[in-house]
Structure 1
Amino acid sequence: MELISLVKKKKCKEAIELIKGGSNLNFVDENGCTCLHYASSGGMSAFIIAAAQNGVNIEKRDKKGQSPLDLAVAMKDAVVLELLCSFGSLVTVKDWAFVGVDVDDLNKTDQNIMRTLINQIEREAENYYGKNAFEVCYVNPADEIVKFTDVTLNTDNISIGFFLYCSKIMPEYTDISMHLGSEYQIFSDVFEIKTWGDTPKFLKLQISVLGIVENNQLAVIMPLEGYVEGNIADQAITDGEHAEEYTELDINIDLTRIKMAKFVILSKLRQEVFDVTQEAIKIIPQSERRAEIHIPEGSFKSPGKLMLNVANTNDWNNAETVLFTNVIDLTMHNNVQPEKPVTVKLPLHSPTVDVDDLIIIASHNDIPQTGNDWEICSTNIEIEGNIVSFCAEHFTR
C-alpha cells in the first residue's frame, strides 16, 4: 500500500527505491488498481520502466476492467503508451477509439496514439507465434549484460546505470524485404534497442547470427531507425553433435541524437575492383581467396579498372557434383578486352575430377540468355592438386 501511495503522490524516486527493496508490485487497492495503473495515468515513465524490469503484471485490470494501457490511451500519453506497448501490453477493442477514422484526419497526438496501437496489434501476432522476443533490464556499470543468449552489451564505457530494452523480430514478420534491392539478402533478425535514464553516448553490442557471410559477400548493417554501424568480428562453428555456423558482429549505436535504434543485418555480393596497367599483374581476390588471375604484360594498352565478382555454385550440386568451381565474372570498366590470354586459377569443389572430364564454359555477355551465349573454353586446362587453371581470351562486356 505504501508503494501505491508514493506513486499516487508522484514521488517517483522514493517509489523506485521501494521496488529495489522488494515491494509487492502487484498489490491492489480498493479500486482494484496496482501501482502500474496510477503510474500509467500519472505519466510516470521512469517508474513504469523500473516496474516492468521487476516483473509487474502489465495486464492487470481494475474493477472497471481497465488495464494500464487503457488508462494511458484515455490520458493520451504517447510516451507511456509506447512504453507499455514495448513491454508487451495487449491492445483491447476499447482502446480503438478511432476505428473507422482516417488517421491523417486526426490531430498529431491522436495520430501518434493510433499508429502506436496499430503497430502493437501487429506485434501481438508476432509475440503469439513466438516470432518476437523482448527483454528489459537495468544496466549496472559492472555487469555483463546478455540478452537472448546472442546479444551482449559491452559495459566498458558505462559509468551510470540506465534501463535497456532489447527485442528481435523474425524478418518474415516485417515489411523489410519490400524495401530492399535485388542485390541484398536478409541475414539476421530485426533488432530494436531502446534506452531510458542516464544513458551513455553510445552502446557497444556483440551480436551472434546463425550462418556465415561467405567470402564473396559483404555484411551490411541497415539502420531502420537511429544511427548504427558495425562490422564482422568473427566467424566460427559451435562444438558438439549438432554443430552450427555463426557470425559475430560488433555493433556501435550512437545515442547522442536519439535514444533508440532499430536495425537488420544484410548480405550482398562483394564486387572487387583492381587497377590494371600495361604491366604484368597477379590478382588474388578476397571473394575467392585460393583463386588467382594472371594478366601478362601488354594485355592492355592503357590503364583501367578490372571489376571482379564471384558467385557460389556448390549449393547447386546434389548427390553428384556437376559444377566443379564457382563462377567468376571479369569485366573491364570500359569493356576493353585483353589482347593476350589471361590465366585463371580456381579452386575445385571436388578433387576427384579428371582433366579429361572437365569442361570450362565462358560467356562475354553480362547476362547470358541462351545456350548460344556460351562457348567452350578449351585452352590450356590443367589440374594441380585442388586447383584448375585455364586461359580466358575475353572478359564480360
Structure 2
Amino acid sequence: MSTKVTTTGVTLKTLPSVSGNNSHSGENRVRPKNEPTAVKIFVTPTESQQFNHIGVQLLQLIRNGNTKQALEVLGQNADLSFCDKAGWSAMHHAACSGFVDLIIQLIKKGASVDALDYSNETPLHKASRKGHAEAVIVLVTFGAGISAVNSNGETALELAVKAAQTTVVETLCMFGVEVLLQDWSWSMIDENELSKKQKKMIELLLKQHSRNSGYTQKLIQFEIVHLKARENKCLEKLGVEVIGNDDVEDEKVIGNDGMDCDSFFLYCGKMTSEYSDVTNSLKDNHEIVSDIYECRLWCNKRKTLRLSVRLNTVLASNENLVIMSPAEKIGRIDCIDKFTEHKNQSKHHSVAYVTISVKTTSVAFYFGKRIEPEKFSIGSEAVTLKPKGEPEAEISIPKGSFESEGQMSLQIVDTKEVNEEEEEDKSGDLLTTNIVDISMTDGQQPKEEIGIKIPIHNKLSEDDAVVILATSCEAPCSVDDWEVMEAEMDESGKAAIFRIRHFSIYAGSSKEKVKIDLPGVVDALERSINRQRKIEFIFLTKWVNADTSLLVIEGTAARKSDSRIKYWARQGYNEKSLKRSKESRVKNGQRFMFTFMGNLVEVSREESFALIFQNNRDNFRMFSLCLDDPNKPITGEVKISIENEVELTIPLKKSGLFSCCSAQRVKKITNIEHTSLQTISYDVIKPKEPVPPKPEPNPPKPEPKRLSDQTLNKLGLVKYKATSTRQRT
C-alpha cells in the first residue's frame, strides 16, 4: 500500500511502469480545464523505498532547463519513476523541452520511451506538439510507438498538425505514420488564402496518404539506427550494410557534457520507383536496376557514408553501373561483387560498395546501368579486333582499309531475353547470334572487305544454315529496312563468318526461320535493338468481406503469366476472376498509369496509380477496393495508359526596342502525355457460402429388455395385464 508524503511545497508520486501498455492508474482521470499544469510535484514511494530526493531534484532541474546539472544528477542513480501532479516523468519533461542528449541518457538509464501521463500521452506526444523533430527521431529510434493515442484519441501526428509543426509532420511521415484523411475535417479554403506552412502541411499529408498501401505491402521499408562512427550495421530487410567510416579522427570525441560526439542517427529507407519522383531524372541511355534509396543523418559530424547495397542484377561486360540522384554529385561506386545463388545460375545478384556524400541532411539515390560501346583506334595497319562484349567474335581489318586514322565504335546487343520470350515456339530460336553494331565515329566506311566472325549461341538443325540480316538504318522499323546476306560456318560449326564493305548492324538467324517468318525475325531484331519486351497485364481479384476486396495487376511476359497466376492463386486470389490485356511492347523504365472507373474504387479514392516496368523484378501493384454505390453490382473498369515525355517548342513574345528585327525566340518544355492502351472490365467473385453438413440421424433407441414371468416371480413381482374392463391394482 502506497502512502502519500507531503513536504514543504513539494509533493511527489511514483509513476507506474506502463511501457507497452495503454492502461495505468490515472487513465480515467479527467483534468479540469482551469487546472494548472505541474505546479507542484508529488511522490508516493513504495513501502520498501525511502523518499528519493535525487529523483525530485532531477525533475526540477529538467523543468527549469538546467540540462548540465540534470545530467550530473542522473549519474547519481536518480529514481526515474517519479512523476509530477500531471503524471509527467523526467522523460516527458525532457521530450517536451527537446533535450536530445538528456533523452538519450535517460534511455540508457532505463527510462521508458512509452511512459504515459494522466492524459495518456507519451513523451512522443509532448515532443511532437512542441515541434522538437530531433527529440521525435531519438524516441522513435529507441522504440517509441508512433500510433499511440492520448485520452482524446489523438496521435502524435494529429498534435503536430494542430500545432502547425511542419518539420515534425514530415519526420513522422518518414517513419511511416498512417494518414487517414477521413478522420480529418477539411475546409474548402481558397488556396490563395493558405500560408506556405499550411500548403506544405497539406502536401505532406496527401503524399503520405498515397503511400499508405506501399507501407502495407512492404513496397516502402525503412530502418532507423543509432551508430558510432566506425560501427558496421547490417540493415537486413533493406539489403544494405553500413560500413564504418574512416574520415573521422581515431581518438574518441567527448563533448563538454561528457557524451560521445562521434555517434549519429541514421534513417535508411527503400521504396519502389512508383512511390518516388526521383526517377524523373533518369537519362535516355540509362536503365534503372534498383529501388529508390534515401538516407538521412542527424547529429552527424562526417562528410561521407559508406554502404554496401545488394542489387538483383548482374552486369554484362559492356554495361556500367552508375549511381544517380537529382543532386549532381551524390557519390561514387567503389567496387562491385557478383554472386550466383543457384546451380543453374538463374538467380544471381551483385553487391555494390558505394561512398555517399552526406554534406546535406537528406540524400536520395538509385542505381542504373549504362550501355557503352567499345572503342578501338584504327590506323593504316592490319588488325584483328576481339570485343570484350563477345570474346569469341573477331573483326579482321586489312591494311589500308581507311583513308585516315579514326576510332571505331562497336556495340554488342544481347538477344537472349528476346529469344526467351519466343521459347514456346518449338521450332527453335528466332535469332542465333547476338547483334553487332559497328560504326566509325568520323563516319568513314572501309575501302577493303572486312571479315567478321560471330559466335552462334543457339544450335541449328543439321539441314539448316545461318544467314546474316543487315541494315544501314539507325532506327530500322520495317522488313524493307533489312537485307539478308549469306554466311558460312567455321570448322567447329559454332560461329558464322561473313564479309562486309559497309559498317552497319548485323545479326545471325536460321535460314529456315527467315524463309518461313521473316517479319517475326525482324520484329525480334528491332525489339532487341530498342531493348523492348512483350508483356501482358493480368488482373485477379480476391474477396475479403462485404466492404473490401483486393485487386492485383501485374505486367509479365506471356511465357511467365501462367506461373504468376498460380502464385497469386496460392495467395488466395480467385483464378476464375482472371482477365488479361493484349500484349504490349515496352522499354525498361516505361511508366504505366491505371485509372479506376466503374462501381469499384480504390479505398483512398485516388483515381490513377503508376507502375514502372523494370526487367529485373516482378512488376505488380495491389489495390484495396470498395463499392462506390452499394446498390450497384460489384464490377469495375481499369484504363491502362502509357505515359510519355514529349518535348514542345513554344514561341516567346518579342519585346524590346528592336523586337521587330530580332529573330523569333522559342522555349523548349517537356510535357507529359498519356496514350490509352486498353480498358479492362473485371469483377469480384463472392465465394459460395459452405453448405452446412446434414445432421446425422439419431441412432435407434434399444428396445427395453423384457423379463420373463418366471424371473418376475423370483423377484417377488406380479405382472398384470391391463384390460378395458379392469384396472391395475
Q: TM-score higher than 0.5 here?
A: yes
Structure 1 pair 10/171, CA: closer, same or farther in 2 (3 Å)?
closer
- 1:226–1:261 CA contact under 8 A, matched in 2: no
Q: 2:497 aligns with which of 386, 389, 392?
A: 389
Deviation string 1:43-89 (CA, Å, 9 cap, x unpaired) is 32232212111111111111222211112222222222221111111
Structure 1 pair 242/273, CA: closer, same or farther in 2 (3 Å)?
closer
Structure 1 pair 233/102, CA: closer, same or farther in 2 (3 Å)?
farther
Q: 1:375 aligns with which of 459, 479, 483?
A: 483
Letter in 1 for 2:244: T
Letter in 1 for 2:485: C
The equivalent of 1:21 in structure 2 is: 109
The equivalent of 2:380 in structure 1 is: 278
- 2:148–2:156 CA contact under 8 A, matched in 1: yes
Structure 1 pair 94/378, CA: closer, same or farther in 2 (3 Å)?
closer
Say which is worse superposed, 147-156 or 191-200, in terms of deviation: 147-156
- Displacement, 1:379? 5.4
- Displacement, 1:94? 7.9
Say which is worse superposed, 273-282 or 82-91, in terms of deviation: 273-282
Question: Where do 1:337-356 residues align within 5 Å?
Answer: 337-350=445-458
User: Secondary structure of the residue that 2:457 maps to in structure 1?
Assistant: coil
Q: What's the % identity of the aligned pairs?
A: 26
Structure 1 pair 16/103, CA: closer, same or farther in 2 (3 Å)?
farther
Provide the rounded CA distance (Å) in 2 between the counterparts of 1:81 and 1:269.
41
User: Secondary structure of the residue that 1:288 maps to in structure 2?
Assistant: coil
User: Secondary structure of the residue that 1:278 maps to in structure 2?
Assistant: coil
Structure 1 pair 149/41, CA: closer, same or farther in 2 (3 Å)?
closer
The equivalent of 1:259 in structure 2 is: 361
- 2:324–2:368 CA contact under 8 A, matched in 1: yes
- 1:296–1:340 CA contact under 8 A, matched in 2: yes
Provide the rounded CA distance (Å) in 2 between the counterparts of 1:222 and 1:104.
36
User: Secondary structure of the residue that 2:325 maps to in structure 1?
Assistant: strand
Provide the rounded CA distance (Å) in 2 between the counterparts of 1:175 and 1:7.
34
Question: Where do 1:237-386 residues align within 5 Å?
Answer: 237-238=340-341, 244-256=347-359, 258-317=360-419, 318=423, 320-350=428-458, 357-378=465-486, 381-384=489-492, 386=494
The equivalent of 2:330 in structure 1 is: 228
Provide the rounded CA distance (Å) in 2 between the counterparts of 1:378 and 1:81.
68
Structure 1 pair 81/300, CA: closer, same or farther in 2 (3 Å)?
same
- Tell me the number of residue pairs that the alignment of Structure 1 and Structure 2 aligns: 396
Structure 1 pair 302/14, CA: closer, same or farther in 2 (3 Å)?
same
Deviation string 1:16-45 (CA, Å, 9 cap, x unpaired) is 211123322222111111000111122322
Letter in 2 for 1:56: A
- 1:218–1:270 CA contact under 8 A, matched in 2: yes
Deviation string 1:351-390 (CA, Å, 9 cap, x unpaired) is 6666961112212222223333222333555254744333
- 1:226–1:254 CA contact under 8 A, matched in 2: no
1:218 equivalenced with 2:306 (yes/no): no
User: Secondary structure of the residue that 1:323 maps to in structure 2?
Assistant: coil
Letter in 2 for 1:252: T
Q: 1:59 aligns with which of 147, 151, 166?
A: 147
Structure 1 pair 367/77, CA: closer, same or farther in 2 (3 Å)?
same
1:163 equivalenced with 2:247 (yes/no): no
Q: 1:47 aligns with which of 135, 160, 177?
A: 135
Structure 1 pair 345/103, CA: closer, same or farther in 2 (3 Å)?
farther
- Displacement, 1:100? 4.5
Structure 1 pair 241/284, CA: closer, same or farther in 2 (3 Å)?
closer
TM-score of the superposed pair, with normalisation by structure 1 = 0.89
- 1:383–1:389 CA contact under 8 A, matched in 2: no
Say which is worse superposed, 60-69 or 371-380, in terms of deviation: 371-380
- Displacement, 1:195? 0.7
Provide the rounded CA distance (Å) in 1 between the counterparts of 2:343 and 2:492.
35
- 1:351–1:385 CA contact under 8 A, matched in 2: no
Letter in 1 for 2:483: E
Provide the rounded CA distance (Å) in 1 between the counterparts of 2:481 and 2:303.
56
Q: 1:190 aligns with which of 285, 292, 314?
A: 292
User: Secondary structure of the residue that 2:504 maps to in structure 1?
Assistant: coil
Letter in 2 for 1:150: G
Provide the rounded CA distance (Å) in 2 between the counterparts of 1:100 and 1:304.
67
Deviation string 1:237-264 (CA, Å, 9 cap, x unpaired) is 12579962101112221112x1221111
Deviation string 1:116-170 (CA, Å, 9 cap, x unpaired) is 2222122222112221111100012343211125211110326511000011111
Structure 1 pair 185/303, CA: closer, same or farther in 2 (3 Å)?
same
Letter in 2 for 1:74: K
Letter in 2 for 1:7: A
Structure 1 pair 328/306, CA: closer, same or farther in 2 (3 Å)?
same
Say which is worse superposed, 373-382 or 162-171, in terms of deviation: 373-382
Letter in 1 for 2:387: P
Provide the rounded CA distance (Å) in 2 between the counterparts of 1:210 and 1:344.
34
Provide the rounded CA distance (Å) in 1 between the counterparts of 2:208 and 2:466.
57
Say which is worse superposed, 11-20 or 127-136, in terms of deviation: 11-20
Question: Where do 1:121-200 residues align within 5 Å?
Answer: 121-147=209-235, 148=237, 150-157=239-246, 159=248, 160-175=262-277, 180-200=282-302
Structure 1 pair 103/220, CA: closer, same or farther in 2 (3 Å)?
farther
User: Secondary structure of the residue that 2:326 maps to in structure 1?
Assistant: strand
Provide the rounded CA distance (Å) in 2 between the counterparts of 1:395 and 1:104.
61
- 1:227–1:261 CA contact under 8 A, matched in 2: no
Letter in 2 for 1:22: G
Provide the rounded CA distance (Å) in 2 between the counterparts of 1:226 and 1:34.
42
Letter in 1 for 2:203: R
User: Secondary structure of the residue that 1:377 maps to in structure 2?
Assistant: strand
- Displacement, 1:273? 2.9
The equivalent of 1:8 in structure 2 is: 96
Question: Where do 1:73-84 residues align within 5 Å?
Answer: 73-84=161-172
Which blocks of at least 5 consecutive residues in structure 2 are unaligned?
Answer: 1-88, 249-261, 506-729
**Superposed CA RMSD:** 2.8
- Displacement, 1:227? 4.2
Letter in 1 for 2:197: T
The equivalent of 2:537 in structure 1 is: none
Structure 1 pair 158/44, CA: closer, same or farther in 2 (3 Å)?
farther
The equivalent of 1:203 in structure 2 is: 305
- Displacement, 1:303? 1.9
Structure 1 pair 105/273, CA: closer, same or farther in 2 (3 Å)?
farther
Structure 1 pair 38/375, CA: closer, same or farther in 2 (3 Å)?
same
